[in-house]
Amino acid sequence: MPRISDRQRIAQDIRDRIASGEYPPGAKLPSLRELIEHYGVSAEPIRSALLILQAEGLTEGHQGKGVYVRAPEA
């Protein structure tokens, strides 16, 4: 059974939290520092996971302001 990478595991967890409404559209995700503490990893897998979610259109980053959940497109 292949091991899931940290970035994939983190991206899936955040996806699940968005789907459940824990992170509703417009919500700001926790800071990089908070995510590092929560998942117990370095910054690199967190950044990679956030890039995956952004590429999927689930989130959008705003320089210096944070990462936000995008509203679903109608």
Which pairs with CB-CB distance under 8 Å and at least 24 residues apart come from 30-35?
Answer: 31/66, 35/10
C-alpha–C-alpha distance, residues 41 and 30, integer Å:
15
Amino acid, single-letter form, for residue 28: K
Closest CA to 11 of 65, 73, 74, 55: 55
Q: Which pLDDT belongs to residue 1?
A: 63
C-alpha–C-alpha distance, residues 3 and 66, integer Å:
30
pLDDT at 25 over 80: yes
Nearest 5°: the CA angle 60, 57, 27 is 45
pTM of the full structure: 0.90
Which structural domains are found in the chain, ordered by start?
A: 25-74 (1.10.10.10)
Q: Which pLDDT belongs to residue 4?
A: 87
Region 22-29 average pLDDT: 96
